[in-house]
Chains A and B, each alone.
Chain A
Amino acid sequence: MRELLIVMTALVAAPVMGLLLNGADRILTARLQGRVGPPLLQPLYDIVKLFRKQPLVLNRVQIGYVYLHLAFMLMTIVMLALGRDMLLALFAHAFSTLSLVIGASSVRSPFSRIGAQRKIMQMLAYEPVLILLVVGIYLRTGSFMAGAVAQLDTPLIASLPLVFLAFLVAIEIKLEKSPFDVATSHHAHQELVKGITLEYAGRYFAIIELTHLYETFLLLAIVAAFFMTQLWLGVLVALAVYVAAIVVDNLCARLRTAWMVRYMWTVPVALAVCNVIWLYLQPQRGM
């Protein structure tokens, strides 16, 4: 019963907070560019509008994959909210993105397919960092259960600082912000003519946007989890990270996909690997 309550809260609170964050993102971006920007609830209007539009598709197969995209994201949120296996949650998260990739590859649209390929390249770029994050947390808590993080005395940031930095870079990729916005771009609406989400219209595109809201909240919640002992600090850091992501987005130009993969596999992965090796060598692990 308590479990159900936690699940319901997570499933409702996550998109609401994601919505406010997304709206704030657009306002902040606008102000940084000297504009006024839309109202705070603009993402809500967008999603409601999309549900009212005709859901144009190219075939019936792609529809199933957009539902899977949302389903796996919900699975990830629920599993982490219930404190279950982190590795499975990570795989679910990866399959959420992968479902969208397969869906976009199921249509005879060259832009969609190129966007899907670029999304796969993005996954190749950030997956090692996410997996090293899970490995690092395991080495610190001794368990693969997400619930173990809540029972630590010292926050995760104390033992996983470099992994944290690597994760921040991975967030920029996941949020589709410059310099990594190659698959569909959060703000540049005409990159690859909307790339991977090109052939999704109406309620299916609304579902993709909704999943993005969940994802935004999920990523920032993980950032906050690094400071779980003082959660207020975690929330502040998460918001600061989001602001920093927006500022970097406005500063940088979009760079090439190949550069993104090469960069991610050198600097952030090296940082994360160093951190993980340091943890492996700790004597008090008792392994």
Chain B
Amino acid sequence: MSVFESSMIVTALVCLPLAGGLLAWLSPWRALRTSIVCLTAGLTALAGVYAVVSGPFSLALGPWNTTLAAGFELGLTALIVYFAWEARAWLILGLCAVQLGVYGVEWFGGHGQIPMIEDPVFVLDTLSGILVIIISVIGALILVYATGYMREHAGHAPATNAGDGRFFLVLTGFLGLMNGLVLANNVRWLGVFWEGTTVCSFLLIGHEGTAEARANAQRALLINVFGGVALSLGGLLGARHGVDSLEGIMSARLMAPMALLCIAALAKSAQFPFQSWLLGAMVAPTPVSALLHSATMVKAGSYLILRLAPAFNGSLLLKVIALAGGFTFAVAAALAVSQSNAKRVLAYSTISNLGLIVACAGIATPLAYAAALMILCYHAASKGLLFLCVGAIEQKIGSRDIEDMGSLLYTMPVTACVTIAGMLTMLMPPFGMLMSKLMAIEAAIDAPLVVLLVIGGSALTVFFWAKWIGRMQTVSYHPKYQIEQMPTSMMGVLIALCVIVLGGGIASMAVYRAVIEPLALRTCADAPAKALAALRAAGNLHSWPVLVFPLLAALAWLATVVRFDASHVRLPYLAGENLDETELSYKFRSLKDEPAVAWAMSLYFKHTLNEARITPWANLIAWLLVVSLLGVLGAA
């Protein structure tokens, strides 16, 4: 591919959303803004698909790109200093000072006698291609959803909120920054886009403007700037060895930059001990949670580790990373069980799944790499869908609590069906998430501690999804259902994304064979034969029973529902003292004929899995793991 074409693609993927966001910000009318955002979303999706379809490229640029990157670095740091100063956040200001120090050393310190290796600045290969598709297509869908959501949201937003113009500027522009992040091969450009997404996250979390939102936005800024500093330090140490790109770090197998980049990735992906910012980020409007905090931005960290890990195969560093990822997976799943706030459950589930990706990246066998890729793809789609559903539900019923979501199947049938379908794809065979968890367990089998953590986490994962699905489906018999009122953009996106998730899930093994297995083979080509055989064998997981039997069950159910005899409906058993003769309810006649309500809540284990009690210990263990990563700096 010619330099011109590849630079056009990069420009389109990065600058198109930014331009669209700017235009959306400048639009005076909502209708105009909505059309601009939808147009930008569509064009970005097309650009993403075109980019991936037209094949991989490596784009090398002249020395002017370093100056441009330096300019952006300075600009973004200045922006962060401004935000931190406004909020009097001294810790962040301190980190910015460190950041500026690192930049100073980089710009003026010189590289001594080691010549810089010229590496391409932007690279599109299969791994970044997968992420470009996720960002462009799923991001586009979420943008369209956001137009409808924010229109409804405007009715009851707090007075301190920053306004739709700024919202869409940042949300749309974010897509461009994210595309740039996954395309970047040069560490400085990576840092630019990394900081850019941090700023976007800060602005979007603080969108509502309430005290809680501002506090959580600051916490997110603090942790992500810390990650950014680690990233720049990693780049600086790499430059000391004459490499300034990810490919360079990989081929020279530089431990110290790798450790620092991994720490930055752990911070961005909200792994323990950095998870608090993602939990706090749930105060943002739901499209933000869907786009940034489940589908794309938090994936950036795990993507980075996944890209770098195959080069460091066999090192102790990767073993520690695997352990950190497995630990996060298990503990986050345990804490998700104790939550009844729907968005917090989804947040912990996201953290947990990202931990699994990191753990698989750390194990670095071909099968583990493939498993990590599958989780990356399927989790982005399913979790994004679930966040969008929870947003719609919250707008309708005004609550985020799972216990309030009973009988949603009747009040909001389409949304409830889509949500249940989404949760089933996270949970059951033949869908991709379960197959990838299976592959992860099989890949981790030779690392006993990691496999125990993964097994424990998987068991707990099943638990909280089952609880939620059961609660949402609790409904009386109604002969007719009515489709709920919802803005078309929201309902359309929910259905479209549901179709994508279901189709992609059922075809998961086809996707594996077509895309993921070849990628894993190419990346881990020097693995032992047994490992490669395991990679190939995993493609057979989808034997016909996995597809046939659930399909038969679904067909049997459809047949029963279609010919359902309403005379078969009865009341629940309440020892004959049901109060409501027509409606299923828990009300019964108690002593003295007084009405009482029987209520069976779900299990939350709030005492054993107490978040306040477990989090400090989990953070301590995670910090110990992170600090041990820095041990390689002694050798640098």
Contact = CB atoms under 8 A, between A and B. Distances in A.
Contacts of A113: 470, 600
Given A91-B438, A138-B445, A106 B451 contact: no
Interface residues of A, number: 61
Contacts of B541: 85, 88
Contacts of B470: 101-102, 104-106, 113, 116
Nearest to A258: B608
B473 A82 contact: no
B545 A75 contact: yes
Nearest to B558: A64
A111 interface: yes
B550 A106 contact: no
A78 B545 contact: yes
- Secondary structure of the B side of the interface? helix
Contact of A105 (B429, B467, B549, B585): B467
Nearest to B448: A280
A193 B573 contact: yes
A185 interface: no
A71 interface: yes
A71 B473 contact: no
B178 interface: no
A105 B471 contact: yes
Contact of A72 (B446, B549, B573): B549
B603 interface: yes
Contact of A68 (B546, B550, B564, B572): B550
B211 interface: no
B552 interface: yes
A67 interface: yes
B27 interface: no
A246 B491 CA distance: 54
A106 B200 CA distance: 41
A120 B473 contact: no
B628 interface: no
Contact of A88 (B438, B467, B561, B584): B438
Contacts of B557: 63-64, 67
B584 A59 contact: yes
Interface string A197-222: 01100000000000000000000000
A71 B442 contact: no
B584 A107 contact: yes
Interface stretch (B53-61, B104-112, B455-463, B512-520): B455-463
Given A108-B476, A193-B573, A64 B554 contact: yes
A110 B568 contact: no
B127 interface: no
Contact of B462 (A54, A94, A144): A94
Interface stretch (A17-25, A123-131, A168-176, A232-240): A123-131
B368 to A, nearest CB: 14
B434 interface: yes
Given A105-B471, A106-B474, 10 more contacts: A58-B476, A58-B571, A61-B475, A67-B560, A75-B429, A92-B546, A101-B470, A105-B602, A108-B585, A199-B573
Interface of B: 406, 409, 427-429, 434, 438, 441-442, 445-446, 448, 451, 455-456, 459, 462-463, 466-467, 469-471, 473-477, 540-541, 543, 545-546, 549-550, 552-554, 556-557, 560-561, 564, 568-574, 584-586, 598-600, 602-603
- CB-CB nearest 6 A-B residue pairs: A105-B470, A109-B572, A71-B553, A64-B557, A113-B600, A67-B553
5 contacts: A61-B473, A64-B561, A82-B543, A105-B473, A106-B470
